[in-house]
Structure 1
């Protein structure tokens, strides 16, 4: 089941992001999120603006967050310049800050599948060292469109850009 996050979810979400940072670092990707990304202010803003979606289940009468992601409608300024080419210039949503709790397998894939079902034209990007996310996106049918440069940090800015458009 998917639902919007609320501020009550923030502590659990922060723990999931911490888990994701450790998993990324242990798998050869220590710099994509470093030790502080995403900043709490960004997560709070995502929640306040109804951008954060949670994949949840219920076990033993208690809800568990299995994965979370920001679903950002409208043009992403970071995607205005690409070394390569997007599939099209149609309206799209962007998946950012996706993280799995590690409680179940394929949670990130389930989030991406949900976004495609509900929005049809989805873009995402990931670090060149994030082999796990590259695999998830490519196995979900996303095309590797090229390289983009993040504009919110001074170093380690290159990301692989992906898009899938359900025609």
Structure 2
């Protein structure tokens, strides 16, 4: 796991495009649609040091991007209002824009395990049709807390909200 750098942007955008195609093919065409996450958002994630990459060395010795995510510390405005209830109001980190390149199975899960290993209170959301992510979250012991509405997703803003707080 390492922080993303500006020269990773092209590979990161390709991974996100792949994730959008896979989500649409799996019956989840509206979670990210054709524009999310925006390039400007990914650039900001890199600039602010909240973009992380799971990488390895391929057979040719060149680094491969296996998965990526944004790890956002502090109160997340998207989580201010919930139809339901968070487990608590303790400080947390939010995970956003988690995507796998498809080069190694379980890469998204590996990212979440890494986050849980260093952050005892984690919040995350996903679309109700993202069955793969919901399966991963259930397997890692995340609790369903309710639904939130994303402010910048006019056509399909509802997301299922999850939290895991260890300790």
TM-score, normalised on structure 2?
0.98
Spell out, residue by residue over 1:24-79, the C-alpha distance to the aligned partner (whole angstroms, 9 max, x if none): 00000001111111110000000000000100001221110100000000000111
Distance 2:130 2:147 in 1: 14
Structure 2: gaps spanning 5 or more residues: none
**What SS is found at the alignment partner of 1:9?**
helix
More moved, 89-98 vs 56-65: 56-65
- Cα drift, residue 152 of structure 1: 1.4
2:89 counterpart residue number: 89
- Cα drift, residue 135 of structure 1: 0.6
Distance 2:35 2:6 in 1: 19
Distance 2:120 2:65 in 1: 24
Distance 2:72 2:162 in 1: 15
1:2-151 equivalent positions in 2, closer than 5 A: 2-59=1-58, 60-151=60-151
More moved, 147-156 vs 126-135: 147-156
Distance 1:162 1:153 in 2: 19
- Cα drift, residue 6 of structure 1: 0.3
Distance 1:154 1:132 in 2: 24
Structure 1: gaps spanning 5 or more residues: none
Spell out, residue by residue over 1:121-166, the C-alpha distance to the aligned partner (whole angstroms, 9 max, x if none): 1000000111111111111110001111111122211100000011
Spell out, residue by residue over 1:77-111, the C-alpha distance to the aligned partner (whole angstroms, 9 max, x if none): 11111111111110000000000000011001000
TM-score, normalised on structure 1?
0.98
Runs in 1 of length 4+ with deviation above 4 angstroms? none
Q: Quote the RMSD (CA, aligned, Å).
A: 0.7
Distance 1:130 1:34 in 2: 13
**What SS is found at the alignment partner of 1:56?**
strand
